[in-house]
Amino acid sequence: MLSKEDITRITKGELLPLPELAQKILTTFLTKSEREIQEFLTEEEEVRSFLIETANLPRFRKAEEPVNNARSALLILGDTTAKILALSLVGKKLTRPTFNEFSYEKFWARALSQLIAGFLFADIVENFPPHLPISAYLQDFGILLLYQFAPEKYLTLLRKREGERALVELERELFGITHPEIGALYFEAYNFPRRFILNVRYHHEQPKEALPLTVEEDLKYLAIIDVLCGSFFGYAREERWQRFRELAKPLLSVAEIEELAESFPKIVNTYFQILGYERYRLKTLKEWEEEKQKELAELINNEKNETQALELTIEKLSAKILALKREKENLEWSLKELENEFRQRTYLDPETEVYTYSYMLRRLKEELLRANRYGSLFSILLIDLAELDEVTKKGGLSIKGEFLRDLFGELKRSLRRTDLLGLTDTENQFLLILPETGSSGARVVARKLLNKIEEKFYRTFEIRDPAFICVISYEPKSANIKQNPNEGAMLLLAKQGINAMKRVPRNRIVLLRLEGELKG
């Protein structure tokens, strides 16, 4: 049993002290504003270097020139990936070598999957508390504390568990304290926020006294995240996955839940590959079912070879095989449905090989948020290919598709790596987002692109004056508007600019300014 002196040693960090960088990371993410977090990611030397190093990996680099600054790294990785990578350094700093079945790497791999799940739900659930991914990441931290205090004793506890009794029940029996309790005391010693500490303390059990409603809501989300990750890491996977389906119904559609069975392991495995946790690679639903099929085949083969174990009749065996075939057919149908839905959600449009409309809307929203938060500027170009229908008339739909791919390929080669070209909700109109680009720079880009478009149309089909381009630059510090615009308002204004040029088609490029009342 742990004595008061033992608990004091653990909670003061004498057994597993929190490294300075880990303290900085957790303090920043748990107590600072979004702007301060962004500054931390670009200014803290070890974090900054790690993000730049990751952005230069082949999976992220799309050009030959290397990334050499944190801002470019953030643009390439995206905010969520950058945050997950920064927080993963906490686990890296606290990993220790062991020579028994307990693995710090496996512990942090599981914790990382919960961190990723937390950020995944933050994208899906409205008003998702920003601290919850970190609560999910560190909720089982007390296990490390108890293990390091008494390694052999804790290994004995894990061997006794075997999926029958609750872990906290065994911990209290052997140590007189549970990992949620010791974890909460440990983080309290570092003066982390109270709500986060309550998340850690009660993620496995209800207190005798009522908790704040916000904490109660946190614990519901943590339970969903824990069951989701347990479906891929722990025992009794089928039962856990069914439990996750039930818990997630108020938040996700049936299709979204089933898609997670394939997409979540793939997302987690991407981070595992970057961070060196590949040995703990998660299996998708399809891989899991294939493994079950293989195990079943081996079982049947063993039953055939061992006559004493052969208790199934041919009729029962045939019925079981028929049921498996039906299950396989249902699974194949479900997988095809998921693959079709997944393809529809990919970022690139297969016909034009530019970004989809939904992705462009999301990135435009991100640029607006970044501009309003940090005062940075950016521009958009709405490109209207007014004569694209003429291309269809002359060459047909297949020629039109090939023509657009060639045209956009030429345009993209003249753009920067951070510039984004994609679809809009109008067939012949396309959107270009130019981060960190003011009105003068955007006009230069518009002229260059218009020249390339006119040259391509005339060279291929002898079509003149094929396009209009509306340029809108957003510079928050100098914009004279009553309220911050949203992505819908900017696109609507750009379309109005295109329509105005078409009515009096003397000009092919127009620059609009954001002034007065602007609503989407």
Same domain, 338 and 193: no
Same domain, 325 and 391: no
CATH code, domain with 255: 1.10.3210.10
**Number of folded domains in the chain?**
4
How far is the C-alpha of 391 from the C-alpha of 393, rounded, in Å?
5
Same domain, 315 and 462: no
Q: Pick the last residue of a domain from 278, 299, 316.
A: 278
> Does a structural domain hold residue 267?
yes
> Does a structural domain hold residue 333?
yes
380 φ/ψ angles, rounded to the nearest 5 degrees: -125, 150
Same domain, 272 and 298: no
> Does a structural domain hold residue 6?
no
Position 515 scores a pLDDT of 54
499 φ/ψ angles, rounded to the nearest 5 degrees: -60, -35
The residues, any chain, with a CB within 8 Å of residue 84's CB and separated by 6 or more, are 112, 115, 116, 119, 271
Q: How many CB atoms lie within 10 A of CB 301?
A: 10
Contact 458, 474 (CB under 8 A): no
pLDDT in tens, the chain (520 residues): 888 899 999 998 888 999 999 999 999 999 999 999 999 999 999 999 999 999 999 888 776 788 899 999 999 999 999 999 999 999 999 999 988 889 999 999 999 999 999 999 998 888 899 999 999 999 999 999 999 999 999 998 888 775 567 889 999 999 999 999 999 999 999 999 999 999 999 998 888 889 999 999 999 999 999 999 999 887 778 888 999 999 999 988 898 898 888 999 999 999 999 999 999 999 887 888 788 788 777 777 777 766 554 566 677 777 777 777 777 776 677 666 656 555 545 688 888 889 999 999 999 999 999 988 888 899 999 999 999 888 888 888 888 889 999 999 999 999 999 999 999 999 899 999 999 999 999 999 999 999 999 999 999 899 999 999 999 999 887 766 656 778 898 999 999 999 999 887 778 999 987 654 444 3
> Does a structural domain hold residue 361?
yes
Position 449 scores a pLDDT of 95
The residues, any chain, with a CB within 8 Å of residue 47's CB and separated by 6 or more, are 21, 25, 40, 41, 86, 89
Same domain, 274 and 395: no
Contact 376, 473 (CB under 8 A): no
- Residue 101 has, within 13 A of its CA and on its CB side, a CA count of 8
Same domain, 86 and 109: no
Alpha-carbon torsion 76, 79, 84, 88, what sign?
positive
Same domain, 128 and 252: yes
- Helix H, strand E, coil C: the string for 46-72 is HHHHHHHHHHCCCCCCCCCCCCCCHHH
Residue from 106, 84, 82, 110 nearest 95 by CA: 106
Domain region containing 84: 18-92
Same domain, 302 and 372: no
Same domain, 189 and 234: yes
Position 56 scores a pLDDT of 93
Same domain, 180 and 220: yes
Q: What is the pTM of this model?
A: 0.59
Same domain, 168 and 310: no
How far is the C-alpha of 476 from the C-alpha of 373, rounded, in Å?
9
> Does a structural domain hold residue 425?
yes
How far is the C-alpha of 227 from the C-alpha of 182, rounded, in Å?
22
Beta strand 515-516 pairing with 480-481: parallel
Q: Using the CB atoms, write b or e for 137-167: b if 16+ within 10 Å.
A: bbbbbbbbbbbebeeeebeebeeeeeeeeeb
> Does a structural domain hold residue 452?
yes
Please return the burial class of 365, using the count of CB atoms within 10 Å of its CB with bins 0-12, 13-18 and 19+: middle
Q: Pick the last residue of a domain from 75, 92, 109.
A: 92
Position 55 scores a pLDDT of 93
Q: Pick the last residue of a domain from 42, 62, 92.
A: 92
> Does a structural domain hold residue 13?
no
Position 63 scores a pLDDT of 67
> Does a structural domain hold residue 66?
yes
CATH code, domain with 501: 3.30.70.270
Same domain, 337 and 368: no
The residues, any chain, with a CB within 8 Å of residue 197's CB and separated by 6 or more, are 184, 187, 188
**Sheet strand arrangement including 429-435:** 420-423, 429-435, 378-385, 467-474, 509-512
